[in-house]
Amino acid sequence: PATAQGGGTPPAGDDVIVLGEVGALTGGQATFGISSRNGIALALKEANAAGGVKGKKLVVRVYDDQSKPEEAAQAVTRLITQDKVVLILGEVASSSSLAMAEKAQAAGVPMITPSSTNPSVTEKGDNIFRVCFIDPFQGFVMAKFARENLKLNKVAVLQDNKSAYSIGLTEVFRQKFAEMGGKITVTESYSQGDTDYRAQLTAIKKTQPEGIYVPGYYSEVGVIARQARELGLKVPLMGGDGWDSEKLFELGGSAIDGSYFSNHYSPDNPDPRVTKFIADYKADYNGAVPDALAALAYDAARVAIEALKNAPDTSGPALRAAIAKTKDFPGVAGNITLDEKRNAVKSAVVLKVADGKSTYVTTISP
Ligand code: PHE
């Protein structure tokens, strides 16, 4: 079962407002959950230092879903029935957010996912929100970059068939790339947790692509990059936000050099709002540079806090209405305006991977 993390049960009572959080603190996507938890904790710390909300302190009850959608769904049920949270933050992986959204919507408890990009997540109902862009846009971004910047004509795709995120992004990328006059040579699949991708990569190599789109998570992508190079596939790999982790470099080594991925935010952004966030985050987390997950989770928590301030009370309907009104909210990963489908419309950045880090290349707007 999902285990509670981060300081045990918060003191119940009239002097606190309890938020819920579900994340992958262990398992194949652990860096996602840890970064998100850090971002949320920073936002809460700042809000509490500024007096809290409605005279109360904010606390968060965190559950580790071990990177599993079933555990994420169970954690939501616990947060609602046992911990009586007013609002839920999470998940990162779209498959987990989809499982959570079902439960949160049924209970009428608002949920904000910081970073799940699959369109179906917010389609689960009017209690489900996100502060990031969606994959129809993200897929367009990399298709455009591949065609216009990298000038690629023939691209192969390698998707994770266990991930709603990867399947959705594959579909959009294939469609957009073809619309822009490019050719998809082949689409191969793997399952999250696999360790040997040689058969798929060999099939891909036969089609002589000029690039390979791999919209998966860092834990698999790093290994895929190594095996691709071992098989003599030297063309650039391209991916989406799921690549964003320090661990990508550890797993991929120099094999990942010369690859590109789309993302929500770049720490290279000189905006003072961003540089202040980075400095505060580093101070709290041993000098770690916040990734997109940390930035989006910080933003999601701040949107939640703003809604808690604006709502007349902390009931589900009141909070839901207040979140839905979010407009021009100054996030560190871009300004947030929620559309009628409860999604944020924002630009994306493209980052290049080389020498153990990713660097900003360009921004693409909707
Ligand atoms: N967008 C991914 C998903 O929906 C999650 C993700 C976001 C991963 C940002 C890394 C960075 O599954």
Q: What pLDDT does residue 170 have?
A: 98
Counting from 1 in the atom list of ligand 1, the atom nearest the Cα of 243 is 10
| Digit-coded pLDDT (tens) for 133-171 | 999 999 999 999 999 999 999 999 999 999 999 999 999
d(CA 141, CA 138): 5
Q: Is the ipTM of this complex over 0.95?
A: yes
Which residue has the CA at smallest separation from atom 10 of ligand 1?
Answer: 242
Q: Where are the beta strands (DSSP E) in 67-108?
A: 88-89
Cα 221 to Cα 162, 191, 255: the distances in Å are 14, 12, 10
Pair of tokens at residue 126: 């009017």
Maximal CA-CA distance, the chain: 65
Which residue has the CA at smallest separation from atom 12 of ligand 1?
Answer: 93
Pair of tokens at residue 109: 């408890």
Q: Is the pLDDT of residue 94 over 70?
A: yes
Q: How sure is the predictor about 7, in pLDDT bands with cuts at 50, 70 and 90?
A: very low
Q: What pLDDT does residue 301 have?
A: 98
Q: What pLDDT does residue 3 have?
A: 52
82 contact partners, CB below 8 Å, separation of at least 6 = none
Q: How sure is the predictor about 12, in pLDDT bands with cuts at 50, 70 and 90?
A: low
Q: Is the pLDDT of residue 95 over 70?
A: yes
Q: Is the pLDDT of residue 18 over 50?
A: yes
Q: Is the pLDDT of residue 248 over 70?
A: yes
- With a pLDDT cut of 70, the percent of the chain lying above it is 96
Q: Is the pLDDT of residue 1 over 60?
A: no
Q: Is 241 left (phi over 0), alpha (psi -120 to 50) or beta?
A: alpha
Q: Please tell me the distance between residue 282's alpha carbon and the centre of ligand 1 in angstroms.
A: 22
Give the strand pairing for 211-213 and 183-190.
unpaired
Q: Is the pLDDT of residue 265 over 90?
A: yes
Q: Where are the beta strands (DSSP E) in 203-298?
A: 211-213, 237-239, 259-263
| Digit-coded pLDDT (tens) for 24-69 | 999 999 999 999 999 999 999 999 999 999 999 999 999 999 999 9
Q: What pLDDT does residue 36 have?
A: 98
Q: Is the pLDDT of residue 2 over 60?
A: no
Cis peptide before 91 (omega within 30 of 0): yes
Q: What pLDDT does residue 6 have?
A: 47
Number of residues assigned to the chain? 366
Q: Is the pLDDT of residue 14 over 80?
A: no
Q: Could you tell me which residues are beta bridge partners of residue 89?
A: 21, 112
Q: Is the pLDDT of residue 96 over 70?
A: yes
d(CA 363, CA 344): 16
Q: Three-state SS for 316?
A: helix
Q: What pLDDT does residue 186 have?
A: 98
User: Which residue's entry shows tokens 């285990």?
Assistant: 3
Burial (0-12, 13-18, 19+ Cβ within 10 Å), 295: buried
User: Which residue's entry shows tokens 């998570």?
Assistant: 217
Q: Three-state SS for 362?
A: strand
Could you tell me what percentage of the chain is helix, strand and coil, using 3-state DSSP and rounding each to the nearest 5? 45, 20, 35
User: Which residue's entry shows tokens 């079933």?
Assistant: 70
> Could you tell which of 96, 112, 117 is best to mutate to test the pocket of ligand 1, judged by most ligand atoms within 8 Å of the CB?
117
Q: What is the mean pLDDT of residues 182-207?
A: 98
271 contact partners, CB below 8 Å, separation of at least 6 = none
Q: What pTM did the predictor assign?
A: 0.95
Give the residue from 118, 117, 35 showing the smallest Cα distance to 301: 35
Give the residue from 58, 50, 62 showing the smallest Cα distance to 88: 62
> Could you tell which of 29, 67, 92 is best to mutate to test the pocket of ligand 1, judged by most ligand atoms within 8 Å of the CB?
92
| Digit-coded pLDDT (tens) for 275-312 | 999 999 999 999 999 999 999 999 999 999 999 999 99
Give the residue from 108, 114, 93 showing the smallest Cα distance to 39: 114
Q: Is the dihedral of CA 357, 362, 363, 366 positive or negative?
A: negative
Q: What pLDDT does residue 136 have?
A: 97
Ligand 1 binding pocket (C-beta < 6 A) is 32, 92-94, 115-118, 165, 241-242, 244, 292-293
Calculate the average pLDDT of the chain: 95
Which residue has the CA at smallest separation from atom 11 of ligand 1?
Answer: 241
Pair of tokens at residue 184: 């998809």
Give the strand pairing for 128-130 and 111-113.
parallel
Q: Is the pLDDT of residue 11 over 70?
A: no
Q: What pLDDT does residue 214 have?
A: 98
161, amino acid identity: N
Q: Please tell me the distance between residue 320's alpha carbon and the centre of ligand 1 in angstroms.
A: 23
Q: What pLDDT does residue 73 have?
A: 98
Which residue has the CA at smallest separation from atom 8 of ligand 1?
Answer: 242
Q: Is the pLDDT of residue 8 over 50?
A: no
4 φ/ψ angles, rounded to the nearest 5 degrees = -75, 140
